[in-house]
Chains A and B, each alone.
Chain A
Amino acid sequence: MKKYNFPFNGKFGNFGGKYIPETLVPAIEELEESYKKFTNDSNFKKELKDYLENYAGRPTPIYLAKNLTEYVDGAKIYLKREDLLHGGAHKINNTLGQCLLAKKMGKKRIIAETGAGQHGVGTAIASAVLGLECEVYMGLKDTERQKLNVFRMKLLGAKVHPVKSGTQTLKDAINEALRDWITNVENTYYVIGSVVGPHPYPMIVRDFQSIIGKEIKKQIGKITGTLPNAIVACVGGGSNAIGSFYPFIGDQEVSLYGIEAEGSGIKTGKHSATLSAGSTGILHGMQTYLLQDKMGQISATHSISAGLDYPGVGPEHSYLKEIKRVNYKSCTDDDAIKACVILSEKEGIIPALESAHAISYGIKLAKKMKKSETIVITLSGRGDKDVEVVQNYLNGIRE
């Protein structure tokens, strides 16, 4: 493989770009310049490192899941424990980075969208510690299924706006955040929670999340003296996945698996498996794979995990699919619930339902691999927020 050096001119091959209203162009340009300036600034790097290590809890452990490995009877399964981070998910890697950047840029007001609420919580935490004002947009449907996170955000001093338009989920929360940004562009910084949106967001979020993959490389190297054979991560927008994969893209011997949410099954039409079942289009400022109808209207999606319930995907994932560097697979709601139960019982870890998708596929994959091989599953978040949904599902109550 030639040296992987993307985005090039804001694009990942044909994907990405900045399809945004004119009002946002100066903001996006300012962001790109500031990002270049501050990420090369040693004081900024030092300050961010301090927050990540002493406040958020990095590096996160890599844990050999002995019981799960024994149960699966295949490759050795390691879990990258992003669920142990402050806030309970990988999201804080990005929110600390972006909020610190916002502060350096002199922006006092932060806005964010959130699906499962983890990014909203992550942004509320980072805003609180950095002394910034924070407002979060969240689909009405998501505020109902992730009540705990709504309360956490409020407790952290953030204002939560339930979004009643469209499908009332993550896609509509992004629409509303973009509208807020268009209206308050002069004093507001928009912290996007995944590797989506117009350039430079997919690059910025990837860079901040790449710490996951860098640590995996170092930690597995220390244990095995070599690279892992496979890495598995769930994909909604795709930030924990790209963060896990990015440092390994040039290492062809490492197989990479991105797991999407198949909901009730692709055939039922009630799913969020964008890369597995979608087509290319333009949404939220980027050209990427989308779930849409023949006319170009964006489809309603379904997943039991609010964080994967999104009809688009990061443009870099679209490109990595096109060049066949990453394998994109999917798991159903059922699969995810089963994996959640297995991990809870075998390892005493309740995973977020998003991460449970990766666990489910990781188990399947490990079974087919040799015992001498190693697989890393990124456990992107903890499952406290989901216990009510899991309980209802196990009792036969579906949405």
Chain B
Amino acid sequence: MYKSNGILKENRIESKFNELKNKSQKALICYVVAGYPDIKTSEHIISSLINGGADIIEIGIPFSDPIADGSTIQDAIQNSLIAGTTPDMCLELSSRIRKTFPNIPLIIMTYSNILYRKGYIQFAKKAKASGIDGFIIPDIPIEESKEYLNTMQNIGMSTIFLVSPNTSEKRLKMISRICTGFLYAISVYGTTGERQGFDKYTIESIKRVKKVTAAEDIPLAVGFGISNPQHVKYMIDAGADAVIIGSAIIKKIKELENKDTLFTTLQKFIFELKNSCR
């Protein structure tokens, strides 16, 4: 059993990881930009991902200045904003997904200003009511996390933090301790986006992080640049409890936008990736 956030009853993220652990499986986490290409299609896309075998869904709320994202996700975010997507529309999307899939963990990934503008408490409450289980905010490091953490803990939200190949041993321990749900290890130096392959330092970094997450009883998810079953296997062999797929999904959506084959292709793509997690 992985650690629980200890305040409220076990949430969907923890249940999912415990369930997969019992089945000796790893988790496949899928990221989408909400509202790309439009909010209605996003709903179908998410359903296809879940039907294909996605264990956890990250709903990306578009922000105008996504500094941690590479060009694929940047373009999708910009398209979504031009289409008129608002944070409220993303939360309504979450509510609809929650109705169809009562047990699938749903996580919001966005940037701090989206939460700050509405107010951390108001945003978190509304997200909770929309079936959200946790948050990933790449521009809130632990130093700036006090108010965010207090708010999220009180409401029973998981707060997923990121670590990087250059994160020091001391910080790694501190972050693992305050992080709930899972720890998000960035595979590489860089922004989100597909990569041909990975350097040796990625494996070393995952192994180093794994030692800490194992001791802290928190699942380790690896993301950035993972786009095919070989990559998935590579990360799992290095010690990942979960892999995160983002840009590769967005790229497929872009290629097949407005085509009937989009949903079946996505489902098949995810099925193949999930096969590498079994």
Tell me the A residues contacting B by CB distance below 8 Å.
Answer: 10, 17-23, 25-26, 165-166, 171-172, 175, 178-179, 182-186, 281-285, 287, 290, 292, 294-298
List, sorted by A's number, 16 A–B pairs whose CB atoms are closer than 8 Å. Answer: A18-B143, A19-B140, A20-B141, A21-B138, A21-B139, A22-B162, A22-B164, A26-B166, A175-B65, A179-B67, A186-B166, A282-B112, A282-B116, A292-B113, A296-B114, A297-B64
- Complex contacts, B144 vs chain A, CB 8 Å: 17-19
- Complex contacts, A165 vs chain B, CB 8 Å: 71, 74, 78
- Complex contacts, B64 vs chain A, CB 8 Å: 166, 297-298
A182-B191, A296-B117 known; A23-B65 Cβ under 8 A: no
Across the interface, do A25 and B167 meet the contact criterion of CB distance under 8 Å? yes
Q: Which of A178, A281, A290 has a CB less than 8 Å from the CB of B67?
A: A178
Q: How far is the CA of A175 from the CA of B113 in the complex (A)?
A: 15
B63 at the A interface (CB under 8 A): yes
Across the interface, do A23 and B112 meet the contact criterion of CB distance under 8 Å? no
- Complex contacts, A179 vs chain B, CB 8 Å: 67-68, 70, 190-191
Across the interface, do A295 and B189 meet the contact criterion of CB distance under 8 Å? no
Kindly provide the distance from the CB of B222 to the nearest chain A CB, expressed in whole angstroms: 14
Across the interface, do B189 and A281 meet the contact criterion of CB distance under 8 Å? no
Q: How far is the CA of A171 from the CA of B65 in the complex (A)?
A: 8
Cβ-closest chain A residue relative to B165: A23
Interface size class of B (residues with CB under 8 A): 35 or more
Q: Which of B118, B138, B189 has a CB less than 8 Å from the CB of A185?
A: B189
Across the interface, do B117 and A281 meet the contact criterion of CB distance under 8 Å? yes
Total A-B Cβ pairs within 8 A: 110
Across the interface, do B186 and A23 meet the contact criterion of CB distance under 8 Å? yes
- Complex contacts, B161 vs chain A, CB 8 Å: 22
Q: How far is the CA of A348 from the CA of B116 in the complex (A)?
A: 48
Q: How far is the CA of A292 from the CA of B63 in the complex (A)?
A: 11
Residues of B65-81 at the interface with A, using a CB-CB cut-off of 8 Å, are 65-68, 70-71, 74, 78, 81
B177 at the A interface (CB under 8 A): no
Across the interface, do A183 and B189 meet the contact criterion of CB distance under 8 Å? yes
Residues of B150-186 at the interface with A, using a CB-CB cut-off of 8 Å, are 161-168, 171, 175, 186
- Most chain B CB within a 10 A radius of its CB, from A183, A184, A295, A297: A295
Across the interface, do A295 and B87 meet the contact criterion of CB distance under 8 Å? yes
Q: How far is the CA of A83 from the CA of B63 in the complex (A)?
A: 38
Across the interface, do A283 and B113 meet the contact criterion of CB distance under 8 Å? yes
- Complex contacts, B74 vs chain A, CB 8 Å: 165
B86 at the A interface (CB under 8 A): yes
- Complex contacts, A287 vs chain B, CB 8 Å: 116
- Complex contacts, A26 vs chain B, CB 8 Å: 166-168
Residues of B50-69 at the interface with A, using a CB-CB cut-off of 8 Å, are 63-68
A171-B65, A179-B70 known; A23-B164 Cβ under 8 A: yes
Across the interface, do A296 and B118 meet the contact criterion of CB distance under 8 Å? yes
Across the interface, do B190 and A182 meet the contact criterion of CB distance under 8 Å? yes
- Most chain B CB within a 10 A radius of its CB, from A20, A165, A282: A282
- Complex contacts, A10 vs chain B, CB 8 Å: 143
- Complex contacts, B141 vs chain A, CB 8 Å: 18-22, 25
Kindly provide the distance from the CB of A209 to the nearest chain B CB, expressed in whole angstroms: 25
Across the interface, do A21 and B162 meet the contact criterion of CB distance under 8 Å? yes
Q: Which of A171, A183, A296, A298 has a CB less than 8 Å from the CB of B190?
A: A183
Cβ-closest chain A residue relative to B175: A22
Cβ-closest chain A residue relative to B69: A179
A182-B190, A282-B112 known; A166-B167 Cβ under 8 A: no
Across the interface, do B171 and A25 meet the contact criterion of CB distance under 8 Å? yes
Across the interface, do B167 and A175 meet the contact criterion of CB distance under 8 Å? no
Q: How far is the CA of A186 from the CA of B201 in the complex (A)?
A: 13
Q: How far is the CA of A166 from the CA of B67 in the complex (A)?
A: 11
- Complex contacts, A296 vs chain B, CB 8 Å: 63, 87, 113-118
A179-B191, A182-B189, A296-B118 known; A19-B65 Cβ under 8 A: no
